[in-house]
Structure 1
Amino acid sequence: MEPPTGERLAARTLPHPHLTPSTVAGRRPYRSLSPWLQASPLSLTSRRRFRGLHSDGSMEKRGRVAVVVLGDIGRSPRMQYHALSLAQQAHLEVDIVANGGSDPHMAVKENQSIHLHIMTSVNLQGLSKISSPLALLLKAAVHFIILVWFLCLKIPRPDVFVVQNPPSVPTLAAVKLSSWLRRSTFIIDWHNFGYTLLGLSHGRGHIIVKIYHWFEKYFGRMADGSLCVTKAMQHELAQNWGIKATVLYDEPPEFFHPASLEEKHELFSRLENNICHPNGIRDCVTTGNISQRGPESGAAIHWLDQSSDTLFSTQIGNEIFLKASRPALVVSSTSWTPDEDFGILLEAAVMYDRRVAAALNEDDSVEEEKIWTDISNGKQYLYPRLLFIITGKGPERRKYEEQIKKLNLRRVAFRTMWLLAEDYPLLLGSADLGVSLHTSSSGLDLPMKVVDMFGCGLPVCAVSFSCITELVEVEKNGLLFSTSSELADEFMMLFKGFPERCDTLNSLRDGALATASSARWSTEWETHALPLISELISGKQR
């Protein structure tokens, strides 16, 4: 599950039960997926309504909601969280109608009240041979027919449709028609504006973008209710679209939490080959993989030929230690699309590499092999190696992978991965810093990946844009940057003295933990989404 992810969230003095000192100290936290779904008790009226009880105690038909995603359900975490909350908190039957591609979270697949309906994939490659406007029209028509077929004929009649936007075309029209035919109501969950995403490739003034904008606005007004992800978007919808929306901030569910030492070691063991032995790559983490026994930097050294050792950790008996000479782990999740300029991160990595060399008075005559051997032998420098793990799928991934291969860096390495939905939270909970490159096509949505990072107690460096301060509190849970040079400066400041003497990084980590403890998805959903759904379902049952 990737990526995606609110108004921030004053820190509370009382930590969340999953963010206790014992978790931070490395003890295994409670891993059940159910607690985040067990929100505070619903009202008696809501329980009777959703559980199917009349006021006299007799049984009535259980309510039903269809969650609609014209996209990969595995890459739509917010809609998965909707489905889980509808099933577990509202006690409703849930039908997810979506495209396939990536697996949803195990909690979704195992829930007996959630029913997955994967829409048939249609090969539309032949449309590339005809003009762009006609191709877009034909593609929309095909998707419209498939959507209506599933929503009207393949699933039981729902009381409410909850649809993700974008994409708007043809989703909103298909759901509106289906809700009319099936005498249901429908809610739009506004993640962003579809016309602004289309404008990235065609320009805001293009006739296709203008038509898309009209379509999105026209059918958006037809919804019976709306949710959105920021106050800025709520204001835009109210002022310029005539739509009243309820803000439902992205908040992390309970399975996003700081990883224990055991969880870190298990994850690093599973990823060891991908990290240390990638095909055709030689860099600062692939050369001379030797490790230290115990936490002290002066302990005996041995080659990494035991399953109990990883690049980051070592296990001696029943005890696990993080290595003092380990690289700093930086994680970024990206969709590899034009609204996330990955080039900024590459440039910042190059700058960090050069600035560290200058700070350590290293000239070009110092061979990288010697540096790597010294690090492998346990030598610690004022600035650590950086290992960037980049997760996600998207159209520009291959282009940037080729650029990465051409970089000649001494203290920086990159790995691109696509993780299991269950491993992604563990990676965030094991990392030292997160980076968000999301800039928002509309300037009104927030990166869900940052929400997930905060849930794991991971501080973030994020690209600055109009409403990002609703989420990132500068110098409390993260930092903002506008250029690659600013990001490189932040790397230098945060990682100086890593891992033991990096006070600024530790302070931001505390702030991220406080942010996570102040709100979780289940609480946010029950406070803001449940009343709207309750009102619509009760209206249908009268």
Structure 2
Amino acid sequence: MQYHALSFAKENFNVDVIGYGGTTPHENFNKNSLINVYILPEVPSSIKLLPRLLAYAVKVIWQATSLGVNLLLTPKSSHILVQNPPSIPTLVMVWAVAAFRWSSVVIDWHNYGYTILGLTLGPQHPLVKFSKWFEKFFGRLASDHLCVTNAMREDLLSNWKIKAHTVYDRAPLTFQETSLESQHKLFMELSKFYPVFSPSKYPESLSVEKTRFTIKDENGQVSLLDDRPALLISSTSWTVDEDFSVLMSALDGYEKLCTQNEKLPRLVCVITGKGLMKHHYQKELEQKEWKQISFCLPWLEAEDYPVLLGCADIGVCLHKSSSGFDLPMKVVDMFGCCLPVCAIHFNCLSELVKHDENGYIFKDSDELLQGLQELLTNYRNNSKLKKFRSNLKEFQKSPGDARLSLSPAEQR
């Protein structure tokens, strides 16, 4: 949502952003004088001690109260843009405040909240059915709608009679290919905290800087090491809709292939993100006895994440849409850096990832392993990787910002 705010500020709108903290926003976001931020208080962790249904009710009441108060504290706005999900209690609180203030509500449909709830409770659970009714009822009260895929637009129209405009997500300008100098600078910084970025052998001269991937000579010239490993990056939310075991199983297979095929490079896997299942999989990774594969799970500053994407050789996306109608923003970001992606298949993914054109679509760990083998064999001169990057560069040249008529522009 911070990129939406930056886009509006770029057009000289005053923007008030209401959301949760926990992560550091991008530097451009923090410094923009047209953007004001209101941080919602986190739900007290003590509610976990309550029975499940009671805890859910207390959580909703807490969120509704804090959101409603913050909405009323912000200056009156001509439009309120709300990203869905989350749906409960967001949609009803936004609708109520908008009605009180005569503001227009625009919903940015990224997915359906009830389908995400259904992943843990099951599609027939009463709460899931109520969530679906709630989302449909209050969703239809908005004055305008955006969605991220044509498939979602058609579904909104046919099932809920909601007319939406498809606006594909595009990566901000901060996501681009990373220069050799910037790669070396980031690797040097990361090597202070994560050994996988450190060189296997340090240079004898103190005037030479070396990482696992790059070297900077006495003249300040940076170059890639000939014997560097390939760099794979994946960003995950560590939740049930992203099965990390698929990647782990594929890496087990890659480890075996790599010992038999000298054309396959050693691999450094960087897995970013945070979530409930991170600790579980981190313990599993630490038990692996891989010789050809190294890994780390870093926590990156907002400014470092796009730089690291621009350094990578290949990306992996494990996101499976709960509804089948949304697209993974992490792939959008990778494409912004012209990084080819292996992405797990689901309905409408082809609206973003074109198999064998700008990426590789797989259905299970065996197909992911096959894709890694195809794309990383002689990876520095791999014709498919070069074709994917070339196609992504052309894709990035197409217009990015969508424009909606929100007038007068000088109003909040």
Calculate the TM-score normalised by the size of structure 2.
0.95
- Identify the residue that residue 309 of structure 1 maps to in structure 2: 210
Task: Give the partner amino acid of 2:192.
Answer: N
Runs of 4+ in 1 over 3 A off after TM superposition: 302-307
What is the aligned counterpart of 2:130 among 200, 205, 211? Answer: 211
Helix, strand or coil for the counterpart of 2:226?
coil
- Identify the residue that residue 298 of structure 1 maps to in structure 2: none
- Identify the residue that residue 247 of structure 2 maps to in structure 1: 345
Helix, strand or coil for the counterpart of 2:53?
helix
- Identify the residue that residue 391 of structure 2 maps to in structure 1: 511
Deviation at 1:191, TM superposition (A): 0.8
Q: Does 1:117 align with 2:38?
A: yes
- Identify the residue that residue 168 of structure 2 maps to in structure 1: 249
The number of residues matched between the two structures is 410
Helix, strand or coil for the counterpart of 1:390?
strand
User: Any conservation in 1 of the 2:43–2:59 contact (CA below 8 Å)?
Assistant: no
Deviation at 1:358, TM superposition (A): 3.2
Q: Does 1:424 align with 2:305?
A: yes
Change (3 A) 1:463 1:303: farther
Mapping of residues 367-378 of structure 1, within 5 Å: none
Deviation at 1:130, TM superposition (A): 3.1
User: Any conservation in 2 of the 1:333–1:391 contact (CA below 8 Å)?
Assistant: yes
Deviation at 1:305, TM superposition (A): 6.8
1:69-112: per-residue Cα shift (whole Å, max 9, x none)?
A: xxxxxxxxxx11111111112x1111011111111111111111
Deviation at 1:135, TM superposition (A): 1.9
User: Any conservation in 1 of the 2:258–2:266 contact (CA below 8 Å)?
Assistant: no
Distance 2:205 2:288 in 1: 26
User: Any conservation in 2 of the 1:304–1:310 contact (CA below 8 Å)?
Assistant: no
Helix, strand or coil for the counterpart of 1:403?
helix
Task: Give the partner amino acid of 1:519.
Answer: P
What is the aligned counterpart of 1:141 among 58, 61, 66? Answer: 61
Distance 1:179 1:103 in 2: 29
What is the aligned counterpart of 1:264 among 156, 174, 183? Answer: 183
- Identify the residue that residue 231 of structure 1 maps to in structure 2: 150
Calculate the TM-score normalised by the size of structure 1.
0.73
What is the aligned counterpart of 2:7 among 85, 88, 95? Answer: 85
Task: Give the partner amino acid of 2:215.
Answer: T
What is the aligned counterpart of 1:388 among 259, 266, 269? Answer: 269
1:421-472: per-residue Cα shift (whole Å, max 9, x none)?
A: 1111101111100111011000000001111111111001000111000001
Distance 2:278 2:349 in 1: 25
User: Any conservation in 2 of the 1:169–1:212 contact (CA below 8 Å)?
Assistant: yes
- Identify the residue that residue 201 of structure 2 maps to in structure 1: 290
User: Any conservation in 1 of the 2:340–2:358 contact (CA below 8 Å)?
Assistant: yes
Deviation at 1:498, TM superposition (A): 3.1
Deviation at 1:304, TM superposition (A): 9.2
1:307-349: per-residue Cα shift (whole Å, max 9, x none)?
A: 6111100011131110011010011111111101111001101
Root-mean-square deviation (CA), in Å?
1.8
Deviation at 1:290, TM superposition (A): 1.9
Task: Give the partner amino acid of 2:7.
Answer: S
What is the aligned counterpart of 2:339 among 432, 438, 458? Answer: 458
Helix, strand or coil for the counterpart of 1:465?
coil
User: Any conservation in 2 of the 1:459–1:509 contact (CA below 8 Å)?
Assistant: yes
Q: Does 1:275 align with 2:156?
A: no
Distance 1:219 1:429 in 2: 40
Deviation at 1:419, TM superposition (A): 0.9
What is the aligned counterpart of 2:364 among 447, 465, 483? Answer: 483
Residue identity (%): 40
Deviation at 1:515, TM superposition (A): 1.8
Distance 1:383 1:274 in 2: 27
Distance 1:514 1:343 in 2: 33
Structure 2: 5+ residue runs without aligned partners?
A: none
Distance 1:357 1:265 in 2: 28
What is the aligned counterpart of 2:351 among 467, 470, 474? Answer: 470
Q: Does 1:156 align with 2:75?
A: yes
Q: Does 1:318 align with 2:220?
A: yes
Task: Give the partner amino acid of 2:213.
Answer: F
1:335-386: per-residue Cα shift (whole Å, max 9, x none)?
A: 1111011110011011001122234xxxxxxxxxxxxxxxxxxxxx421111
Q: Does 1:407 align with 2:309?
A: no
- Identify the residue that residue 64 of structure 1 maps to in structure 2: none
Structure 1: 5+ residue runs without aligned partners?
A: 1-78, 278-284, 292-301, 360-380
Change (3 A) 1:515 1:482: same
